[in-house]
A and B are shown apart, each in its own frame.
Chain A
Amino acid sequence: MNAIADIVQAIPVDQILIQTVNGVVAGMILALVASGLTLIFGIMDVVNFAHGELFMLGAYVGVVVIALTGNFWVGLIVSSATVALFGAALQIVTLRPLIGRDPLTTILATFGISLILQNFALWEFGTTVRKISEPISGHFPLFYLTYPWYRIVIAALSGAIIAGFWLYLKHGKYGIWIRATTQDRVMAQAMGIPVPWVFTGVFALGAGMAAASGVLAAPLVGVTHTMGLDWVLKAFIVVVVGGMGNLAGSVAAAILISLLESYAAIWVSPAQAVIVSFVALILTLLFRPTGLFAATAGK
């Protein structure tokens, strides 16, 4: 009996609650990254290896614009718009010629793009870590910590972007075009939907979302030319666990995995906590290869 009581006492309740908040915050950013990825996959059959680099590029454009204007929110909007336009150009130049070919060729093409973008960032900005300061400096007490409001704002904002995007897919005119293209590409074309432009638009949207999450996450992690790699790998795990092309599944999986990693970080170092998400992936592959939320959630 004593032993059990000791174990119960040893559970750090306050730490667990703090890590829950941390996990949800990280999960919402990850969800924003992953929903762009899953969107591009679900509609275009393109696995965008360059997604992390668009995230990184967004953060860098954010750094530059914020340095010029001094306003975080202007940076956020300008960065998303710039990277979205850039994404559209990228899609037209590199991915459009590949429409109709084996989806694997698009993996290779986007891998090439990611190499180029990463090395461009290294060449242009060097290896110094850039920082964006938090636009909201208030804190509130959370157990023994004073927790920054900014993190709560990021989570809310990411959630709002995803929700807005989801509503648009459901009800907006172009959203309906996008869904029609997903369901039946040929039929959509026959009904007069300009399918190649829908693809371009979707890629631009995904790129813009990646850039937005890059700027939002920048105050928490440093801006470097390799920052995209960690996120995109995690986003890939999320997309596989949540079910490819499944928006709701991706969001749920993003939060689940971030929570798991946060809890693991109580006992092991953050570098090792990543292994927990790998284990989650392996278990998913073993028991539900099509994704945890494949059967329960629609597209």
Chain B
Amino acid sequence: MSTAPLERPIPLKKVALSHTAVFWLGFCAVMALLIAAPLVLPEFWRRFLTEILIWGLLAMSSDLLIGYTGMVSFGHSVFFGLGMYGAAGALLAISPPNLWLALLFGLAGAAGAALFVAYFSTRTRDIYFAITTLIFSQIFYVIIFTWTSVTGGENGLLFSRPHFSIPFLYDARFTTATMHWFVLAVVAGSYLILRRITQSPFGMVLQSIRENEARTRAIGYSVERYKIVAVMLSGLFAGLAGVLYAIQNEFAAPDFVYFITSGDTVIWNVMGGIGTLVGPIVGAGFFQLLREMLSRVFGDQFPYLIPLGVVFIVMIIFLPQGLLGFARRWLNK
């Protein structure tokens, strides 16, 4: 029996910032850094950072399924690619090319594909879902690759970047800096929306499907319907990433529909930490940075995917939570 020291002074309550305040302060700090980045970075790194943001958006969209619903999708290249080709179609068919129409068409393309994929693949679970979505990415790849008259086949589609325009108000060419800010705004907005979705009652149902699907069904939720909506939402954001990538690089190519892109997306998620939304962005950045460094040190011919694959496997075994896994609980509070 030990007695607690009674004489110890009762500590005054520390003035602690609330969780919300810390979150928004952190958010603003990161945003400020990212907004300032193009002003200080050289041209190459500016583009590099913009691309990381786009890949990050793709990875983040996939996190809604992997991290929150517990469905590992190997089909995100489909949504990304359809977003790309949708944007390309709008930019090629309608003149003058319009940024917002490209967005609209890209999102419509991604949504259509997502509905199709979701309808069939949500009938399966776990590993079967992964395989089914993988096969769907191959289906779309074959269709896009062989339908040369529409998609340009192997060569893909080339187009010029639309102006950044707000009707009647503003119209200017994109520079690398304004492109970066535009992408940043879209990605940050998507992050906030996705965060809101995961914290909404809908998001809670998704997480309960992840934890225990049978019980969720028993409580009375229509699990299939929730899953279909989750896949479609995720597909929409992936399509958005595709549109951004098409506008940034001024082309659409079948390679991006190939399942390797989906696999990369999953890798970024796992490296960054699933179920955190920001983790996948960090993962994408980590992956691309490592790759860039490897090819700078060892030359262009270096098979950088070999060491990256080793890093990935080591991380799965020893750091399954990913880089940001430690902050998972805090980020979702």
A→B interface (CB under 8 Å): 41, 47, 94, 97-98, 101, 103-105, 107-109, 111-113, 115-116, 118-120, 122-123, 233, 236-237, 239-240, 244, 269, 271-272, 274-275, 278, 281-282, 285-286, 289
Contacts and interface: CB of A to CB of B under 8 A. Distances in A.
Given A272-B142, A289-B124, A119 B309 contact: yes
B303 A123 contact: yes
Contact of A104 (B72, B120, B123, B317): B72
Given A107-B127, A236-B134, A272-B142, A113 B313 contact: yes
Interface in B111-133: 120-121, 123-124, 126-128, 130-132
Nearest to B301: A123
A99 to B, nearest CB: 11
B123 A289 contact: yes
Contacts of B266: 108, 111
Interface in B129-155: 130-132, 134-135, 138-139, 142-143, 145-146
Nearest to A103: B127
Interface in B21-45: none
18 contacts: A94-B317, A98-B317, A104-B127, A111-B267, A115-B305, A115-B306, A115-B309, A116-B313, A123-B303, A233-B138, A236-B135, A239-B131, A240-B128, A275-B142, A278-B139, A281-B132, A285-B120, A285-B121
A280 to B, nearest CB: 11
Interface string B276-313: 00000000000000000000000000010110111011
A263 to B, nearest CB: 18
Contacts of A285: 120-121, 123-124, 132
B242 to A, nearest CB: 22
Interface of B: 72, 120-121, 123-124, 126-128, 130-132, 134-135, 138-139, 142-143, 145-146, 263, 266-267, 270, 303, 305-306, 308-310, 312-313, 316-317, 320
Secondary structure call for the A interface: helix
Most buried by B among A115, A233, A275, A285: A115
Nearest to A122: B303
A105 B127 contact: no
Contacts of B316: 98, 105, 108-109, 112
B309 A244 contact: no
Contacts of B146: 269, 271-272
A184 to B, nearest CB: 20
A41 B126 CA distance: 13
Contacts of A113: 309, 313
A95 B317 CA distance: 9
Nearest to B131: A236
Given A103-B126, A285-B120, A274 B313 contact: no
A120 B302 CA distance: 10
